[in-house]
Amino acid sequence: MFSTNIWIWIAAFLTLAIFSFLYKDNPLYRFAEHLFVGMSMGYIVVIYWYNNMVPNMVNPLLVFFRGFGNFSQVWLNGLVLIPTILGILFLSMFTKKYSYLILLPLAVDLGLWNGVTVPAVLQADVLKQAQGTLLGIHTPLLSGQVWGVVNGLLILVGVITTLSYFFFSREHKGALGVSSKVGIWFIMLGFGASFGYTVMARLSLLIGRVQFLLTDWIHLIK
């Protein structure tokens, strides 16, 4: 009835060791926890080395220093030296004397990524969302969908009142006070929905492990 695969047994033992924490903290739990952290880090280092460092840094530098291929190929590969040196400069933070050198890669990183992401984020998260909030009423109104209009109105009211709650330049009195109070209700509903989904997510993880124990280990269910 039980699995004959040693790895399934090890996985089942580690799962039960982690679950033992629900009763109280114990050495078995701590052993499994430390093993998990160590294994994960080791695995990630190896994956990063072979998938990222070797093809993107080691191999081009080997071509450059050994002078394989034609002149332009060698020099193109040599360009990898620039990000390599910038990357190494991150390690300067571990020395007192040269720690200021970290500013150089940080400046490049921040400048580059701000340039790449700011316009795209503005387009995807602000403009498109603002458009969606308005079209949420307009589109169903044109096609005569009553519940679509109600849904769109709810979204519009929710967005405006929630934004008004975060408007701190005036005291929340009068119309702004009413609007911000309605905004709090929308925020609370949002938190409630997120919490409900969080409960479901955590239960799913438990169910996943119980399914593993009952299916792969004990063979009680298919």
Partner 1 sequence: MSWRERLFKIDRRVLYLLIAVAVVVPLIKPLGLPTAVTPHAQHLFDAVDRIPPRTKPLLLSMDYSPSVMPELQPMSLAILRHCFAKKVPVIVMTLDPNGVGLAEDAILKAAAEYPEIKEGVDYAFIGFKAGYNVVMIGIGQNFRATFPTDGSGHPVEQVPILANIKNYDDFAMVITIAGSAIVESWIIFAVTRYHVLLGSGITAVSSADYYPFLQTGQLCGMLAGMKGGAEYEELLDKHDYSHAPKRASQGMDAISSAHIIIIVFIILGNISYFLSRRKKA
Report the nearest approach of partner 1 to the CB of residue 167 (Å): 20
Candidates 50-58, 61-69, 80-88, 167-175 — which segment interacts with partner 1 by CB under 8 A? 50-58
Q: Which is nearer to partner 1, 93 or 112 (CB)?
A: 112
The count of other CB atoms within 10 Å of the CB of residue 77 is 20
The count of other CB atoms within 10 Å of the CB of residue 146 is 9
Binder of partner 1 out of 31, 38, 42, 51 (CB under 8 A): 51
Site string for partner 1, 67-106 (x = CB under 8 A): ----------------------------------------
Q: Which is nearer to partner 1, 93 or 203 (CB)?
A: 203
Q: Is 115 a binder of partner 1 (CB under 8 A)? A: no
Amino acid at 52: N
Measuring CA to CA, how many Å separate 119 from each of 43, 66, 124, 127, 149? 36, 41, 9, 10, 31
Q: Which of 98, 97, 78, 96 is nearest to 88 (CA)?
A: 98
Residues 186-215 that bind partner 1 (CB under 8 A): 190, 193-194, 197-201, 203-211, 214
In degrees, to the nearest 5, what angle opens at C-alpha 49 toward C-alphas 44 and 53?
135
Residues 17-36 that bind partner 1 (CB under 8 A): 22-23
> Cα–chain-centroid distance for residue 55?
25
Q: Which is nearer to partner 1, 92 or 139 (CB)?
A: 139
Q: How far apart are CA 179 and CA 197, in angstroms?
A: 27
Tokens linked to 32: 């499994």
The residue written with tokens 């299916």 in the block is 215
Task: By CB under 8 A, name the binding residues for partner 1.
Answer: 22-23, 40, 43-44, 47-48, 51-52, 55, 113, 116-117, 120-121, 123-125, 128-129, 131-132, 136, 155, 190, 193-194, 197-201, 203-211, 214, 220-222
